[in-house]
Amino acid sequence: MGQQYTPMIQQYLKVKAENKDAFLFFRLGDFYELFFEDALKASQELEITLTSREGGAEEKIPMCGVPHHSAAGYIENLIQKGYKVAICEQTEDPKHAKGVVKREVVQLVTPGTVMDGKGIVAKENNYIAAIANFNNQSYGIAYTDLSTGEGRATVLEGSVDLLLNELATIGAKEVVSCPDEDKDLLDKIKERCQAVISYEENSFMHDEFQKILQKLDAEELQEPVQRLLHYLKKTQKRSLDHLQPFEIYENDQFMKIDFYSKMNLEITEPIRGKDKKGTLLWLLDETSTAMGGRHLRQWLDRPLISKSLIEKRLLLVELFMEHYFERLDLQELLKSVYDLERLAGRVAFGNANARDFIQLKKSLLQVPAIRSLIKGMDHEETNKLAMALDPCEELTDLLERSVAENPPISVKEGGIIKDGYNEKLDQYRDASRNGKNWIATLEKDEREKTGIKSLKVGYNRVFGYYIEVTRANVKFLEEGRYERKQTLTNAERFITPELKEKEALILQADERSIELEYDLFLDLRDQVKQFIPRLQKTAKIISEIDIFQSFAAISEARHYVKPELHFNRELILENGRHPVVEKVMGSQEYVPNDCMMDDEREMLLITGPNMSGKSTYMRQVALTAIMAQIGCFVPASNAKLPIFDQIFTRIGAADDLISGQSTFMVEMLEAKNAITHATQNSLILFDEIGRGTSTYDGMALAQAIIEYIHEQIGAKTLFSTHYHELTGLDKQLSRLKNVHVSAAEHQGKLVFLHKVKDGAADKSYGIHVAELAELPETLIQRAEEILSQLEKSNGKTKTASVSREEVKEPIVSNASNEQLAFFSKPNEPAVSKTEKKVLKEIESLNLLEMNPLQALNVLYSLQKKIRK
């Protein structure tokens, strides 16, 4: 079929066959053209005109195109929509071509390999990851930000959820896998992370990778890292010198927060919308540099669990708070520091221009002053930071001598190298300037000699230099003075032998000057490359300094305190506040609350009306713990905190519509995740678990979950509920205490006090909340009548608004039994609640995964429950 196409179309089809999953931007002259299916799809996605052309076949070929000088914007558009773009350039001078001009793909641009443009957000990393699956029991993962050169790798032991959570945490835009990877796994990655999937077969060692792989020993790490590097080498087709050695980390070195918990707590992303306002990141990011912003986000993704490392950060924040004036000066200096990491990446990648070098020089010029300020704080820890800063004086000197102060964006039009840097370039420039001075003198002399004041010497690319005289003045010229060159409507253009001679000299000097400048710039770029490791090290230190000053500024302005961290069971927050809500409220006064937990107070059962602040209270405890463990001061008047290894949350009732799961199923899955993985050192937040099903089912599940956490896990737990019957559990469970968010009735209206007090709430105030929402008055009255009837008829089995004093038992068994008996066969006794629970447990057992001893233990446990 291909034989009937023209040679050029055949060339296109051959290149396209090697890049099936990408739009092929095929260079033809001044345009990038797309053909066939690419053209049909691109014309819709980019909203450009679809045309057609002859290609040798009977039917015309669909075609669309974009000018090469404006292609970057179109490519960005496609990348942001999750597509890949293969850029195919002419690699042969058409003058020397025999037949079709040679063309080949010079770069594959993908969502994970973008280096600049709209796809790059200054304070966010753009990660591409690679995975290796070892029998679905462990997973190797490696990822890098091509624009900064940062790389990390880890091994995850356990379920696929760990892998999905890690990819979601880093926000990988693209995931590279081996071609025969399990399709279900890749589908889960696409669904959870919204990432593009790419494939790479090669994962063998390559000599070029030695520097990057120097810290890697385990096969689980080497395979994904090498697969990622092979993919980058194949698609980018250029230097990757700026990639840093991959940093190996273990998940157990950091506080674990699963994807849904991060979403519920709105740590870096809001639950709704894309604006960062309302997130913890939004509150804490007072950084002055892009590097600092990205580094802060990484800290938030992975809070520390090492007490010594946390305390070192807290100490530095304290030192920056104590040195107010130095901090103000530091903020001003940091504003003049550009993104050193991404500048280094552009240099290595070969797309840095002279203006990037000016930004690099201006940034490095701030380093000595920053070092001096930090050293002036006169402390061992600040001295370490100061000593780690490298001003790279040799590089600053090189850039100062070589690059013009206001260079053009293009590196091929001249004007980028300073006078005095290169002797040959100075000679060309001197010849060009002298020639142009001669032309200016010629114009002045000819005006005087001819008496024609409007005579001028001009230049254009077609005719070169010329003498122009208006038609009205031509009659004043001596015959034979000039040689006629061109006739215009209102003027005549002439030349002279001397003018053509000078023209040749000037143009030759200009052309050679531009060529030499470009060569000098490329040489300069190679020299700058040698400084990349030093630049990256300095960039990391500056980013940390930026975070410390940011934490200090926020802590001072918002009256945060330095938390005391320990490994015992005590949690004390006096006058704690929700940091984000407090900022959003602005001038309104935030009502602070205490939170006290210890060995005898491990679980708090929180009751109170809707909208009273239960969820806010729970969230503020979690956010305070996170802030402390990233090394920031916290919103309280006094804070003593244990170091949490994990945080689990179930807050909010949004259905998971994407995966088709109901609110209740999402509740149960998140509860299972917490119960399965939590330890005694974890923090669990459960908000109204069980509300997605019938009252008795929900209440039973809520009580069972509370009992299980209390008896089997022992984690610090905040559990809010509207099931007031559960408040009686404090008599059965020694480490559970009731607290409530208070409200009061004033003149028949409900007033939220937002104050957390010991004991259970006496009412739900559900109808009052409906009244606040301004439901119709007749509806409110009818609801009160129904409530009154239910309370009279049900006796003990009241709704959630029954007062605590009237409840004798945590869960009323009669009503539950009646509900279950509905499903019994005639003349058969109703299955008891205990029996049904045991049957469910038996049904859920996976006997194939148990050894005989485990099976015997489970059987013994079930027998005990039946005998009771």
C-alpha distances in angstroms, 164 versus 141, 146, 195, 199, 559? Answer: 11, 21, 11, 18, 38
Residue 122 lies in a domain: no
Q: How far apart are CA 24 and CA 45, in angstroms?
A: 14
Taking residues 218-240, report their average pLDDT. Answer: 87
Q: How far apart are CA 790 and CA 787, in angstroms?
A: 5
Strands 683-687 and 646-650: parallel
Q: Same domain for 782 and 841?
A: no
The identity of residue 801, as a single letter, is: S
Per the listing, tokens 């990390």 go with 152
Taking residues 357-363, report their average pLDDT. Answer: 97
- From 69-83, 528-542, 681-695, the region with the lowest mean pLDDT: 681-695
860 vs 277: which has the higher pLDDT: 277
- From 203-212, 261-270, 653-662, 676-685, the region with the lowest mean pLDDT: 653-662
Residue 803's pLDDT is what? 33
Residue 613 lies in a domain: yes
Which CATH number do you get for residue 540?
1.10.1420.10
Q: Exposure pattern of 379-415 as b/e (b: 16+ CB <10 Å)?
A: beebeebbebbbbbeebbebbeebbbeebeeebeebe
Taking residues 518-544, report their average pLDDT. Answer: 95
Q: Same domain for 473 and 619?
A: no
pLDDT band at 132 (very low <50, low <70, confident <90, very high): very high
Q: Same domain for 544 and 569?
A: no
Long-range contacts made by residues 469-473, C-beta under 8 angstroms, separation at least 24? Answer: 469/494
Per the listing, tokens 């009205």 go with 472
Q: Same domain for 646 and 792?
A: yes
Query: Does the pTM exceed 0.75?
Result: yes
How many CA within 13 A on the CB side of residue 214?
6
How many CA within 13 A on the CB side of residue 719?
33
pLDDT band at 385 (very low <50, low <70, confident <90, very high): very high
Q: Same domain for 470 and 493?
A: yes
**Does position 816 have pLDDT exceeding 70, yes or no?**
no
Residue 351 lies in a domain: yes
**Does position 653 have pLDDT exceeding 60, yes or no?**
no
Which CATH number do you get for residue 59?
3.40.1170.10
Q: How far apart are CA 128 and CA 572, in angstroms?
A: 41
Residue 555's pLDDT is what? 97
- From 133-147, 186-200, 577-591, 815-829, the region with the lowest mean pLDDT: 815-829
The identity of residue 643, as a single letter, is: I
- What residue numbers bound the domain in which 749 lies? 564-814
List 720's β-bridge partners, or say none.
606, 687
Taking residues 524-552, report their average pLDDT. Answer: 96
Kindly state the tokens that stand for 142.
């490696």
Q: Which residues are annotated as a binding site?
A: 608-615
803 vs 831: which has the higher pLDDT: 831
**Does position 850 have pLDDT exceeding 80, yes or no?**
no
DSSP letter assigned to residue 145: E
Q: Same domain for 505 and 535?
A: no
List 629's β-bridge partners, or say none.
none
Taking residues 562-585, report their average pLDDT. Answer: 94
Strands 85-90 and 103-109: antiparallel
List 739's β-bridge partners, or say none.
606, 758
Q: Which residues contact 735 (CB under 8 A, 6 or more apart)?
A: 599, 600, 601, 602, 603, 710, 714
Q: Which residues are annotated as a binding site for ATP?
A: 608-615
pLDDT band at 830 (very low <50, low <70, confident <90, very high): low
Q: How far apart are CA 668 and CA 264, in angstroms?
A: 15
Which of 317, 441, 335, 332 is CA-nearest to residue 379? 317
Residue 744's pLDDT is what? 67
Contact 190, 183 (CB under 8 A): no
Helix orientation angle between 324-334 and 354-375, rounded to the nearest 10 degrees: 170
**Does position 798 have pLDDT exceeding 80, yes or no?**
no
Residue 411 lies in a domain: no
- From 6-10, 569-573, 596-600, 663-667, the region with the lowest mean pLDDT: 663-667
**CB atoms closer than 10 angstroms to residue 160:** 17
pLDDT band at 779 (very low <50, low <70, confident <90, very high): confident
Residue 820's pLDDT is what? 36
Q: Same domain for 605 and 719?
A: yes
**Does position 405 have pLDDT exceeding 80, yes or no?**
yes
Q: How far apart are CA 382 and CA 564, in angstroms?
A: 21
Q: Same domain for 234 and 160?
A: yes
Q: Same domain for 206 and 235?
A: yes
**Does position 539 have pLDDT exceeding 90, yes or no?**
yes
**Does position 781 have pLDDT exceeding 60, yes or no?**
yes
Residue 270 lies in a domain: no
Q: Same domain for 551 and 576?
A: no
Which CATH number do you get for residue 204?
3.30.420.110
Dihedral sign (CA 15, 20, 21, 27): positive
Q: Same domain for 791 and 857?
A: no
Q: Which residues contact 41 (CB under 8 A, 6 or more apart)?
A: 23
Q: How far apart are CA 764 and CA 751, in angstroms?
A: 13
Kindly state the tokens that stand for 340.
């050193």
pLDDT band at 748 (very low <50, low <70, confident <90, very high): low
Percent of the chain with pLDDT over 70: 88
Residue 671's pLDDT is what? 83
Q: How far apart are CA 33 and CA 479, in angstroms?
A: 55
List 460's β-bridge partners, or say none.
464
**Does position 221 have pLDDT exceeding 60, yes or no?**
yes
Could you say which of 47, 81, 109 is where a domain stops? Answer: 109
Per the listing, tokens 């100490």 go with 315
Residue 672 lies in a domain: yes
Q: How far apart are CA 151 and CA 39, in angstroms?
A: 36
**Does position 326 have pLDDT exceeding 70, yes or no?**
yes
- From 427-431, 694-698, 847-851, the region with the lowest mean pLDDT: 847-851
- From 297-311, 473-487, 737-751, the region with the lowest mean pLDDT: 737-751
700 vs 108: which has the higher pLDDT: 108
Residue 504 lies in a domain: yes
396 vs 742: which has the higher pLDDT: 396
Contact 309, 636 (CB under 8 A): no
Structural domains counted in the chain: 6
Cβ neighbourhood burial of 225 (10 Å; 0-12, 13-18, 19+): buried
Tens digits of per-residue pLDDT, 17-68? Answer: 999 999 999 999 899 999 999 999 999 999 999 999 988 777 899 999 999 9
Q: Same domain for 70 and 142?
A: no
Q: How far apart are CA 608 and CA 720, in angstroms?
A: 8
Per residue, what are the HEC states of 562-610?
A: CCEEECCCCEEEEEECCHHHHHHHCCCCCCCEEEEEECCECEEEEECCC
Contact 641, 624 (CB under 8 A): yes
Residue 245 lies in a domain: yes
**Does position 159 have pLDDT exceeding 60, yes or no?**
yes
- From 174-188, 331-345, 549-563, 744-758, the region with the lowest mean pLDDT: 744-758
Three-state DSSP state, 482: coil
